Amino acid sequence: MNYKIVIDAGHGGNDKGVVGNGLQEKDLALQASLYMYERFEQLGLPVSLVRDSDETLTDAERIAKIVAPYGDEEDVILISNHMASGGEGFSYHC
């Protein structure tokens, strides 16, 4: 099966996510997502970003952007990046 990848940088715009130590989750999620996007492109994989800048998305807008490039098929992989605080430091969830 030829997979297609959609990368969702969690939060954004008015939704900062977790904030601490001068860091905002929305910024880290976007930074990780942009890196992943570039790397998947370098590997020649079909990939799309839900957001590539700091923008506010409603749940409906986010879902529409997730399904827009490749639809809602079995060969689509969704990676939704979030960094959550827990204990000491940040943990990465994908």
Predicted pLDDT at 20: 87
Tokens 């959609």 sit at which residue? 6
Spatial contact of 29 and 9, defined as CB atoms under 8 Å apart:
yes
Q: Which domain holds residue 50?
A: 4-89
Predicted confidence (pLDDT) per residue in 71-91, tens digit:
999 999 999 999 876 655 544
Per the domain annotation, does 20 fall within a domain? Answer: yes
Tokens 């807008």 sit at which residue? 61
Predicted confidence (pLDDT) per residue in 21-69, tens digit:
899 999 999 999 999 999 999 999 999 999 999 999 999 999 999 999 9
Global pTM reads 0.87
Predicted pLDDT at 87: 54
Extract the tokens encoding 45: 């994989």
Per the domain annotation, does 94 fall within a domain? Answer: no
Please state the length of the chain. 94
Domain CATH number, residue 12: 3.40.630.40
Spatial contact of 77 and 5, defined as CB atoms under 8 Å apart:
yes
Predicted pLDDT at 88: 53
- Number of compact structural domains in the chain: 1
Predicted pLDDT at 94: 44
